[in-house]
Amino acid sequence: MASGEPNSEQQTGAAVRVGLMADAEAGRDLRLGLERCGLKVERLPALPGGLRALDSARAQVLLVDLADASDTVFDALEELLENAPVPIVLNESGRAEQTGVWFRRLAAKLTGLAGGVAAPASARPLPAKQSEQRQPAGQQPAEPMVWVLGASFGGPEAVRRFFAALPGAPGAIFFLAQHIGDGFVELLASQLNRTTALRVVPARDGDVAEPGMVLVAPVNHVVRIGPEGTLRLEPDKAERSCRPSVDLLMQEVASRYGPRAGAIVFSGMGDDGALGVRAIAAAGGEVWAQDSGSSSVSSMPDCAAATGAVSRRGTPEELAGGLAAYLEHRAAAS
């Protein structure tokens, strides 16, 4: 920054450092606009080359430009969303839309996401594992709620933040339907296990869903749930643009658990989950969604909210806090 220009870091404290993945022309415009808003921009190669620069990058949040993106870029984007250590915002807006107001809104979103990055798991005291939590003498535990978490682009980071902020959930079973490439389910489960006291496992045929578990839905199979919570996996032969289907998993949980079903829709493209949240709400269950401002891509939670079924929206941390309070109240009322 030239010496004659005001230094936004001196005025407002340390500026948020944004890692920008874009080609030369789009990157120049985005960098200038964000720096005018007081952010510090670190230029990174456009995808797929940007993947190799992640280890040395010092960014607190990533901005990935997808305007005129090729299939190669989208293939690399899937890997980026799985492995990026910081929140990601995807930009599909062209230069004509990038006004001063647009940049200020984008800067506020990037700043908010950078401020919401959870501390490393080792820095937080973890709650007791499910097996160590006991009910007071004479008190019968409430029948567990079963929550379906649906997510797509930006979902892995949002879900990590959610579980990192959730102080245990003794009255709940979780199913996670994350749009993901085949072969990445084990990796996602492993990553989430490092951030939560809950037990995160890939859903397998014959598993029994129990409180304190997070079952990650397989990519190419539909999850069916038996009367005792026993899982049966059936091949998903339908043509789908994204897998696994959030709608199908929500509909299955709604039909099996009725008013004990719940759903939270996190960041993602498209409208998968919009049919599912209607089924959860019709069964008497709770439906929540991530807010637009904290979502890397807000299409999925916005489409869920447009159904009228969503009763609460917030950041992943706010949703985690709300769920902890909701389950505590539910347990006390049982």
Catalytic residue among 65, 179, 245, 267: 179
Which residues, at least 6 apart from 168, have a Cβ–Cβ distance to it below 8 Å? Answer: 127, 128, 130, 133, 197, 198, 212, 324
Q: How do 221-225 and 231-235 pair as beta strands?
A: antiparallel
Which residues, in sequence order, are CB contacts of 293 under 8 Å at separation 6+? 108, 109, 112, 315
Q: Which of 221, 245, 267, 272 is catalytic?
A: 272
Q: Which of 152, 267, 295, 298 is catalytic?
A: 152
Radius of gyration of the chain (CA): 21
Is the distance from CB of 138 to CB of 40 less than 8 angstroms?
no
Cα(209)–Cα(101) distance, integer angstroms: 47
Contact 55, 119 (CB under 8 A): no
Q: Is 179 a catalytic residue?
A: yes
Order of strands across the sheet that contains 61-65: 40-44, 17-21, 61-65, 88-91
**Among this protein's residues, is 329 annotated catalytic?**
no
Peptide bond into 48 cis (omega under 30): yes
The residues pairing with 17 across neighbouring beta strands, listed in sequence order, are: 40
The identity of residue 304, as a single letter, is A
Q: Which residues are catalytic?
A: 152, 179, 272
